[in-house]
Amino acid sequence: MSDHERWSEDVAAYMLGALEPEEAAALEHHAEGCERCRAEIRWLTPALDALPESVEREQPPAELRARLLAEVRADVGAGAAAGASRGAAKPGLAERASAWVRELGSGPMGLRPVAGVAVAVLVVAAVAGFAIGGGIGSDSSDKTSTLLYGEPPGVTAKMVSEGDSGTLHLANVKPLPSDRVLEAWVQRDGEVEAVEALFVPDREGRASTELPDMEGVEAVMVTTEPEGGSESPTSAPIVTIPIQ
């Protein structure tokens, strides 16, 4: 059996995704120098392309389209906001946001400064073998920590921190109108700053966003905002997570 014939036996399996990764890589390496194998792959490609086209057509739900387009518009908005904020005076934004926090603090939502305030934390656990002792995120030596906050059926949050960055995962978020997005904010030195991260919940009410700079953050908040996001919060937070 020639070298080509030996590899040729696996061409169909390769195209169907039925080779192990190392086998597929070896075949690709061989095909780079084997015109006959490349010709076989070219010849069989329309047959492979026909397989997904053969499936019974199902109507995707309209909510799927709405969620997708909301996420895309949120991305565009976040990009525009990032561009705008790079040229904007940061203190102005922080001042406006902090004014909003103070305003809400005296309002019916009762948002108060969170540092030093006793809060309902369900679980505080360290990942990767580290133990957190005492209060919220009190172990500053570990590399990764997870903080769970909130109680179903309300919005619950999981804050995964690693170094100075973190990821916020929300659950039980109510569906948003197509023209609204979630926007994250952090409180640092008593001032509220935009995270420049817009996101939307999925069908099951889950939503996640990255928090790239967690240094000195006292609390993380999430609000609903018009698509494209806001320079300062325009609604009461759906969740406020005390960090320190």
- Measured from the Cβ of residue 60, the count of other Cβ atoms closer than 10 Å reads 9
How many residues sit close enough to another protein to count as binding (CB under 8 A)? 45
Q: Residues 198, 78: contact at Cβ < 8 Å?
A: yes
Amino acid (one-letter) located at 139: D
**Considering the rule CB under 8 A, would residue 202 count as an interface residue with another protein?**
yes
Subset of 2-61 contacting another protein (CB under 8 A): 9-13, 15-20, 43-61
Q: How far is the CB of 179 from another protein (least distance, A)?
A: 13
Nearer to another protein, 73 or 150 (CB): 73
DSSP-assigned beta bridge partners for residue 148: 123, 158
Nearer to another protein, 11 or 243 (CB): 11
Q: What b/e sequence results for 64-75 when a residue is b if at least 16 CB atoms lie within 10 Å of its CB, and e otherwise?
A: eeebeebbebbe
Q: How far is the CB of 234 from another protein (least distance, A)?
A: 22
Helical (H) or strand (E) element with 182: strand 180-188
Task: Say if strands 180-188 and 191-199 run parallel, antiparallel, or are unpaired.
Answer: antiparallel
The answer to whether the Cα torsion of 55, 61, 63, 66 is positive or negative is positive
Q: How far is the CB of 57 from another protein (least distance, A)?
A: 5
Nearer to another protein, 37 or 192 (CB): 37
Q: How far is the CB of 2 from another protein (least distance, A)?
A: 16
Amino acid (one-letter) located at 186: V
Nearer to another protein, 47 or 115 (CB): 47
Subset of 52-111 contacting another protein (CB under 8 A): 52-61, 63-65, 67-69, 71-73, 75-76, 79
Half-sphere exposure of 203 (CA within 13 A, CB side): 7
Task: Give 12's contacts (C-beta < 8 A, 6+ positions apart).
Answer: 44
- Measured from the Cβ of residue 37, the count of other Cβ atoms closer than 10 Å reads 21
Nearer to another protein, 77 or 150 (CB): 77
Q: How far is the CB of 174 from another protein (least distance, A)?
A: 18
Nearer to another protein, 74 or 147 (CB): 74
Q: How far is the CB of 33 from another protein (least distance, A)?
A: 18
- Residues making contact with another protein (CB under 8 A): 9-13, 15-20, 43-61, 63-65, 67-69, 71-73, 75-76, 79, 202-204
